Amino acid sequence: MRLDKKLVLTLILVLTVTTAAILVWAQDQRRQNTAKVLEDLKPFAQVYERIVDYYVTEVETEEIIEAAIDAMLEELDSHSIYLSKHEWENLMIDTRGEFGGLGITISIRDDFPTVISPIEDTPAYRLGIQGGDQIVEIEEESTEGWNSEQAVSKLRGQPGTQVDITVYREGLEDSLYFTVMREIITVPSVPYMENLNGVGYIRVSRFGERTADELEEAIVTLERQGVDGLILDLRSNPGGLLDAAREVSELFLGRDTLIVYTESRIPDGNQKFVSTARRVHDRSPLAILVNGASASASEIVAGALQDNGRARLFGQTTFGKGSVQEIYDLADGSSLHVTSAIWLTPKGHPIAGEGLTPDTPVADGTEDGDVSLRRAVGYLESE
């Protein structure tokens, strides 16, 4: 069918005018937003000017500005932070062969750096540091009000050097004191697997670039041994890369299945992540072990498999680290990290601050062996 030339030209004209109108509207909105920001900043500029000119002693203007920025971010969540040029450079240093650590991942809870979990076979793990421990002092300096990057920069250092930390652990009356020898931290994603009389057990300690590959190798090995079910142990797994969480989920979820999605105010901030898997391990029932130190990418995987009916969760409510930070490099070499979105499971459950509730809750701190593992094995044997 041939289109009338006049009709085509009319459509093109309408589209051109509409596009131009949208661009003009967008530019006008930006001008209005800029004008509002400048108007809102007037009191700040006036206060800053009076302090610089009239305060009883001369002040360091850089310190005043940083204090003002920190005060603004205190009104937001604990993951929205400002890092000075020095702090940002220190965070970005490549630790391979130069710097060592304790072997812990941390977040901020109740205004203190808090251990999400120690990494297996590291100095912190061997000393008995636990998920949930609050680091209240580093080298006798209070950490109250610090962000996680400030704590990391103090904890990290040359391998073979020591750092003193003071820990508050819930349920204990007195603080705990540790002197930790720093080491280079290198940890495989899948440190352990075992055939438990026909049930495959796989420990996943982190989510890195090779996690999905290492996990699939373990799954294939156990499947060849004829296991009738699989257990993924994500307890005390602090998370890692989003791509790794997606790739691990794709090992168990069919193509086009929703894994996780985000909600945000920024343009293109609302995203959906769906499985693109071509080969799925869906023959065996699946159980996942979690606890209060299972965080971030661990929660994305556990939530995706739980909500899609692919796995049953055993253990305790997870940590609740489910937000996205945009990083903005500033002109002076510093950086601003702003929480821009939250993660939600396929059924719309927000991970941040709430965590995931297991299908089979198991009390923490039991002395009667590994109850979560026993319950998971029993479940798979009955399937």
Three-state SS annotation for 85-117: HHHHHHHHCCCCCCCEECCEEEEEECCEEEEEE
Give me the amino acid identity at 201. Y
Digitized pLDDT (tens) for each residue of the chain, 383 residues in all: 444 544 444 444 444 445 555 455 445 556 666 677 677 778 877 887 888 888 888 888 777 887 888 888 888 887 788 877 766 665 554 333 345 789 887 888 888 999 987 887 889 999 999 989 999 999 999 999 888 778 888 898 888 899 999 999 998 989 999 999 999 877 678 888 899 999 999 999 888 888 999 999 999 999 999 999 999 999 989 888 888 999 999 999 999 999 999 998 887 778 999 999 888 998 889 999 999 989 999 999 999 999 999 999 999 999 998 887 777 888 888 888 888 889 999 999 999 888 999 999 998 655 556 899 999 999 998 87
User: Which of 307, 323, 334, 335 does the annotation list as catalytic?
Assistant: 307
User: Which of 80, 275, 296, 335 does the annotation list as catalytic?
Assistant: 296
Q: What's the Cα-to-Cα distance from 213 to each of 247, 263, 294, rounded to whole Å?
A: 9, 29, 21
307 is a catalytic site residue = yes
Query: ∠23-29-30 over CA atoms, to 5°?
Result: 90
321 is a catalytic site residue = yes
**Nearest-CA neighbor of 152 among 199, 213, 91, 100?**
91
Q: What is the pTM for the complete model shown?
A: 0.66
Positive or negative: CA dihedral 261, 78, 314, 358: negative
Question: Is 106:164 a contact under the CB 8 Å cutoff?
Answer: no
Question: Is 269:341 a contact under the CB 8 Å cutoff?
Answer: yes
User: Which of 321, 323, 334, 372 does the annotation list as catalytic?
Assistant: 321
Angle separating helix axes 5-54 and 61-74, nearest 10 degrees: 120
